[in-house]
Structure 1
């Protein structure tokens, strides 16, 4: 490690005594001081936690949260070379030495990165002692007088993380309604959230850049540009946040479909999915409570999880394989690097073969490697798509894929704690 010069002042007599004592021992004074200080320090500071500065944070508040003592702000400042304790930018990574046990997460959140799209298979996570995440997807419609709801309290009470995706409908109804009904959809979302229990993380829509998600269907449906999506999101955000007990809920942007170029617009004539993603984030910078992304493979070969293969022109700068998630992560503006990120769908981009190839294990190991870099924005979960037998992507009846998942669950892969 690089060295640093440390200077301090003592009175003249003490300085002479130290120098004479070192000479008496036949040793140079700097070596003696280093050894004595190392003994005094011991292993203090070799254990530390990572914390990303959130909006409204101060060093005093962070010190109070992790140490129970606001005066420990000086410890954090010294450990992180912070000259002005009043200047800590949102998104800055702080290292907190020798903190006690981390604060518990709110009910409905999990420290593990494991998870499933759909209810039904969560018991495998429970049996492994690693209760991860469950995503439930709901078709709400746009009737502002509809107050029907769901309960997810059984999942939250059992210790699982809960995410709910709010859709207007499925093809050809559209993940969002026609734009002249965004207000109705937002009120319907608010009604649903207000009467539902056990969840505080809500995703608005899904893969809005795909033609199949357009209201009216892929052929003649209304295109969902970033501008239109942002309008719908802001209305939903307003409605959910104004409902009693939901003021602090996370409202999360819908995931953009990787590699899809079906939705172009004047500032993005190629339909580049990453530009589409960035344009949504820029439009929603003040409202976002979290970011959902999807990442897929091109085949079931676990060796390709780490492939850096690129797309063909004109997208040769985009990753072609599972690591497409990195393109999304790198596209997140610095001002949003403090937000939670959820990978809410992953699979092999072909129907799951009933084979334990180790693909699931390697996919989770890859996300854990990403999270292990303290400079990276944490990914809170990666959800296997999907559990239920609604379509060709189901794994409920694929016992060998489940065994692959169970093998992955032997690892203590966490984003928190």
Structure 2
């Protein structure tokens, strides 16, 4: 939301300061408390005026305290008193104690200077200021986000060219993180988690976003030892799915798949009806992603913004759930944003796991398909494929097929990762000329997905050879007779050996006098092509 930042200066007025922000957070599993919300739903800015009762609108929407959710609040260390930590203690106490909410606190230096520039006289002491903020709120919060969208010009006051450089931010993050872990008082909500600021997603926009979001984040990660990264924040907007996937791919590419991720700012700019459907679609999309084995999960999804007239001061009404609740579509309408949230909350989408969802059992097979062609009444040689557990645990599989002209062996097995060889045997003598297909299904109800297939496509074509032309040289002569005589079984004494099946010219499962009679009809002699239809 880089363009919104340009409005900051005129929007800052007593008691109703507002700021664009939003976050997605990632943390080590060992640093997450069991008390963190079990559900995916969240908001950005509850709305709070000291001395007034806490707004019940978000609590009703999120089904608090029965289920609860996530809330992001912004605290400014060097701003007016109503943006500093003591102002928020009443709100935090109520949300944590009475509403069953998990609170994420974004800590900024000042509006327009999200983290202090190296020339700021308070630069060296800012980690101590952050620790003081943590100590004030630590009874109700243990997740701390340092700064907001540093890759936009509007957050870089007093930095050269208004650019909070990746290396400069990395230094501040490390100093602040170490100060919190080394000197802040413990939180009953869980071990302290310090998060890297979410960049504004997308490419460069002159005068607004001075550096591509993913490029900025990648360089920040490169400037911090991996064991000093507690987590991340990311934002996702109108290109919701691609926004979060591209950032997760970047994080994973840096070897940080174990960190949990929280989206704490997302929205779209449109009519209320479109926004209502956007709410439903995005929660469903993210839940599907989170439930897919091998995907880096996102812990929560916090809409920017809930509040309309307290912290937000009316500056974000086009996005505000509270604004549309009071001014838009009637309650209960499918086009009402507040109602859309209520309906989505009722689906009880779980919070994402910390890091990447384990693969569990996963069916691997190779090849995935076979394409074969044979001459009419020819035999098809066996094929083989492999089955293995491509995930974790033990795969216990069974194999079935839907065609009478093939069979598999073995038809069941187990694998902890080793590759099992499965043979496909064909019985094609009764297949008519034309195309035939079969599906082999490999199943384990506990695998994800529980089934996968190997397909077989078979084309039976008319043969250009006489049935008795065993060596396929287009003539039937002494060489073919020698083969025939070596394959004789006598009447009803079959079946013939596997390399003699073609000598059973009448396909009655033996090689006998009747087959010899057909053979005689096909004899052409040296140098004379045999008639392909000689046995008909």
| Residue 380 of structure 1, CA deviation | 0.3
C-alpha separation between the residues in 2 aligned to 1:346 and 1:328? 14
Q: Does 1:106 align with 2:34?
A: yes
- 1:382 corresponds to 2:301: yes
Q: Secondary structure at the match of 1:112?
A: coil
For 1:10-409, list aligned pairs within 5 A.
105-107=33-35, 109-119=36-46, 120=55, 121-126=58-63, 129-141=66-78, 148=86, 150-151=88-89, 152-157=92-97, 158-171=99-112, 174-180=113-119, 181-196=122-137, 197-216=139-158, 222-241=162-181, 242-245=183-186, 248-261=191-204, 271-284=211-224, 285-297=226-238, 322-332=241-251, 333=253, 335-348=255-268, 350=269, 353=272, 357-389=276-308, 390=312, 391-392=315-316, 393-399=319-325, 400-409=336-345
TM-superposition CA deviations, 1:80-120 (whole Å, max 9, x none): xxxxxxxxxxxxxxxxxxxxxxxx9533x111111000114
Q: Deviations over 1:210-252 (max 9, x none)?
A: 11111249xx753101101101111111221121215930001
8 Å Cα contact 2:147-2:197 kept in structure 1: yes
Distance in structure 1 (CA, Å) of the matches to 2:304 and 2:278 = 13
Residue 410 of structure 1 and its aligned partner are, at CA, apart by 1.6
Give 1:90's aligned residue.
none
Deviation at 1:370, TM superposition (A): 0.8
Deviates more, 1:239-248 or 1:199-208: 239-248
CA distance 1:140–1:221, shift in 2 (3 Å): farther
Instruction: Report the Cα distance in structure 2 between the residues aligned to 1:294 and 1:347, rounded to whole angstroms.
Output: 9
Gap change, CA 1:115 and 1:150, over 3 Å in 2? same
Q: 1:275 to 1:356 in 2, by over 3 A?
A: closer
Q: Deviations over 1:159-183 (max 9, x none)?
A: 2111000011223xx1112223432
Seen in structure 2, the aligned counterparts of structure 1 residues 323 and 289 have a Cα distance that, compared at 3 Å, is same
Give the TM-score, by structure 2 length.
0.49
How many aligned positions are there? 285
More helix by share: 1
Per the TM alignment, residue 257 of structure 1 is displaced from its structure 2 partner at its CA by: 0.4
Task: Give how far 1:282 is off.
Answer: 2.6
Alpha-carbon spacing, 1:149–1:232, altered in 2? closer, same or farther (3 Å): farther
Q: Confirm or deny: 8 A CA contact 1:352 1:401 kept in the other structure.
A: no
Q: CA RMSD in A?
A: 3.2
Structure 1 unaligned spans of 5+: 1-52, 58-103, 265-269, 298-319
Pair 1:55–1:415, CA change in 2 (3 A):
closer
Q: 1:329, 1:357 → 2: CA distance?
A: 26
SS in 1 for 2:43: strand
Distance 1:201 1:55 in 2: 13
Cα 1:55–1:110 shift into 2, 3 Å:
closer
Aligned to 1:412: 348
Indicate the structure (1 or 2) with the bigger Cα radius of gyration. Answer: 2
Residue 291 of structure 1: how far off its partner (Å): 1.1
When the two structures are superposed, what TM-score results if normalisation uses the length of structure 1? 0.62
Q: Deviations over 1:120-146 (max 9, x none)?
A: 423311259431101111111189xx9
Deviation at 1:287, TM superposition (A): 1.8
Structure 1 partner of 2:22: none
CA-to-partner distance for each residue in 1:277-312, whole Å, 9 max, x for gaps? Answer: 111123232222111100000xxxxxxxxxxxxxxx
What are the Cα deviations for residues 186-207 of structure 1, in whole angstroms up to 9, with x where unaligned? 2111111112230000000000
Equivalents in 2 of 1:364, 1:380: separation in Å?
12
Tell me the SS of whatever aligns to 2:228.
Answer: coil
